[in-house]
Each structure stands twice: as C-alpha cells, then as structure tokens.
A and B are shown apart, each in its own frame.
Chain A
C-alpha cells in the first residue's frame, strides 16, 4: 500500500489476516493507495487530522515535548506514526480538561487520518482528558493514544468515537501505570462500517488501578470489535471493566477481554462484565473473555449477558401507564446511561452530549 501526503512517504504491506483479527479483517479492505485527508480546523487544544498535528493552546501545566517513535514492525502500530504526532508532558495538574480532537473530513475511501498521541503524566499529577475522534462517510482513521502515568498520577479519560457508515477505523489506546497510579477510561462509540479498538492497560506498579467502561451504539451494518488487554504485572493492582453494546439493525459487536495476572502479582482484584442489548433479530454480539492467571491469591470475576429488553422491566413501565414505545426508548436510554453515570463527574457532560 502506497501512502502519500503524510510526513514520511512510505510503502507498507498490509498484514495477512490472523486469528486476533478474524472478525474484523480491516487490513484486507485497504485501498492500494492511501492519501492524507484534508486537515480539519477546530479550536480544540490539540488537533490531529489528515497527516497534520496542530497544538492551538494548552492548559497551564502541560508542555510539548519532542515527538519520538519507538520502532516497531507491527503494521497497525507503525501506521499512526506516519501521520501527525504529538508528545505532551503533564508537569502540574491542569485546572481544566485537555481537549484533543482527531478528525477526518472526507468522503473518499482512499483518504486517511493517521495520528499518534503520547502523554506522560508526572508523579502525583492529575489530568482530565476529553478526546473526540470523528470520522465521515468513508475513509480510514488509524490512531494510537499512549498514556504513561507515573507514581500516584491520576487520569480521567473520556473518548467519544463517532464514525461514518462506510468508514474503517483502527484506534489503539495503551496505558502504563506506575505505583498507585489511577486510570479511568470511558468510551462512547457510535457507528462505522468496521471499527477496531485495541485497548490495553499495563499495571506495572503495586496498587495501580484501571477502570474501563464502554458503550457502543450501532445500527445498520456497523461493526465494532473491542479487543482489550488488562495486564496485572504487580501486586495489589485492581481493574474493573464494563463493556456494553447496544445493537440495532444488522450490526455486530465483538468483545475480546484478556486479563493477565503475572505470577508475582498477588492480591489482585479484576472484574470484567460484558453486556449486550439486542434491539433487532439480526443484530449480533460475540463475547470472549480470556483469562491468563498465574498468581494464586487473586480475586477475579467475569461475565457476559446478551438479551433483549427484559419483559419484566418493560411491564413495570407499562403498569405505570407508560406506553410500549416509550418504555422501550426509556430502557434503551437507561442501558446507555449506566456507563455515563459511572464516569467521573467532570466528564459526564462531555460524554452525555455525544451519545
């Protein structure tokens, strides 16, 4: 595949399909030539669009560092590094959220936004991050967002990913947590022909905590494949994950949740839940938890439910005079609201406005 219009012109060979990508063979659908999409201008603090990165302003306490890339042979890890790159350091807790916008404003299948964002958070500092990733009717967005949390650092991160009907999307979110660092990530995902989310959190320091929640709302023939990996590399680390999918039309959601607990990582608590609400007969959900536990003193739970709106809940609303259509709408809204309600206070407004 030939890439043009990006910082580094390159020719890359899309990888053959592997087991991990069997539901979402995005590499197999890429065009022979991919051009940088025309950059979108917005007033967000950081804008990544087409092949460009623009820093408009930054809240006090955050500074720009020289972008660097670690060389990798992985196709999907390399692709974002060819586009706009921003490396930030949070040296003091900013008083307001950092707003990052990744945009692709194109209608053509051979146009793309490639972007890489790296944020390092200094010890004991707190960052609230609002990240909006928007696409349009067609094209590709491939991004990588990396967060490195030092000891006692705290990040509240909200991601709203809104894609167009024919768009392809691969978004990586990788976090590394030192001792007692705390990460909360809430995802709202809407639409897209095929979206692959690769979410990983490595809890490398004792006492680190990661909390991940996502709500995906799909209709038509949209498909979202959430592939997550939570690695407990140290003792006393805790993680909580809630992955919800609301599926209408002929849409499809895949959730693969890997939980890895290293041999020495005792007293780990890991909780994982996957819930799917099917609004139509042709909607489809696949859930596959993967637990790799090598320590013996751990608390680990996981579960998956798939169903339609419960008859008892529906009847409860009917029995109070609420008509069937409205009862269904309320229960659907409630399914989404659980994720929003559980998000940190400061991010609820941002997330609620984007579902």
Chain B
C-alpha cells in the first residue's frame, strides 16, 4: 500500500477530532477516541453507549464512608443479579462493567475482601447495565460507579474537589447510602454523621421540592448486618434506636426513603498474613438482604417516570 492511499483515512480521523464528544456524566468536551473524560475521569464509553441506545441510562449512586462496604455491595449485587434470573436480571454493557463484579467475587472466593477503592477517579470501576424485571417489556438502563469513600468525604468537606462526584450526583435519579451497622453497634457514630453530611450535600445540590433530592428516592442500608441481627429484624426501628439523628433527618426532609439491612459475610475474623498487616477476612459468604434495597430503588425510579 502506498502512503498516498492512507491520506484519505487520516483526513477522516482529523475531521472527527474537530467535533467534541461530550462526557455523559459532566458534559465536558472530549476527543472522540478518549478513554476517560479529561474533566471528570468518567469512562467515555458511557457516552458512546448512551448515544447508540434508544433508552437514556439513569444513574444511581451508592455512597458511604470508607469501609462501609460499597465495593462488596455493588460487586455482590451485580454478580447475584447476573446469576439469578428469577428476580431482576442484569446484563452488563461493556467489558469495563464486569471488572467490579470480577474483582469482588474473586476476592471473596479466596477468603478476602476486595482491595480498597483508590481515591483517584480514573481507577474507579463503573457499571453500565441493562436491567430487566420479570414480566416487564421495557428494560432499564443504569449507570452505577464504585466511588472511593475518601473521595466522597473530601468532596463533602471541600465541595468541587472531586468534580466527578458533584457532576454525577447532580444527574442521579436515586441514591443508596450504606451505613456500617457493625460500627453503630459498637457506638461509633462516624457512619451516622457521614450519612447526614451526604444528605445535606444532596439537598444543597438541588432542593427543588418536585424535581430535587427531596423528591428523589433515598435508600439507607445498614451493611455488615450479620454482625448485628437486630438490623435484619427491623431496620427502621434499628435506625431510630441507633442512628436517631439520621432517622430524624430522613423523616423531616426526604419524602421517599426506606431503611434496609444487608450482609455478605456470615462471620469475619482477623488474619496476619506474612508481609501484610492485620486483615479482616470473611469466614464464609452468605449474602442476605442485598437485592431488596436495590429492588426498592428501582421500583421508585419507575414511579418517577
């Protein structure tokens, strides 16, 4: 092939560079072949996939303090829904959407929890999936990132330090806040305060009574509930007892909120592998209450239509 024959193709590529591709999360312009948005580091694949589909994807945020169990929850949820067809059925869109599930399940199967999510947004896992309920014709398109707890805290304390968090939450249709139930049992209130901070942050973002966060679904889930069985028996009553500030806040401000409890490990212990620090490890994996909060959230999203 002579060099001249290549020229028309290069020209075509140059033409593509003249048109910016907007990021699906922050709306910022990017080159058509960018892998991540240069403004917020969200995968550009989200924008490409969204533009090729008739249904516009909705976004759900899974938030929580560092160590609340966001990665494990999202990883298990996606694995359970892609494995079990009787309830909601999940189909991942794009290879990047399977990485979170893969990492989480591989770690749990080896008797470990997955590694901590790094603070850098370009290392976060994003899940873009199609969700289909039994006897429902129209599927739902969803985007859910696994954001680092430290990054969320930093954004709460110093708004705009993580543009991706702000941009994503501004576009979210619903939110799930994870609260470490085992810490509440021990009387540690950090998780309670984080959840309250997060809720006030959301209200500050958009407090329109009809379209803002006050009217959007907020799902509050106590994680690691296997360590406090009272969570499972009545999550709302447990919230009222153990996280009264949070419970009161939700009662006063959020029209659509619900408390749930979830657990993945039946029991945990600590190990000290050679060359590593003290590791908290699951002694067995028996998911409980993982799908229920998500189902509720999806039902609420349908109501929003």
Verify that A and B bind, or say they do not: no
Residues of B within 8 A of A (CB): none
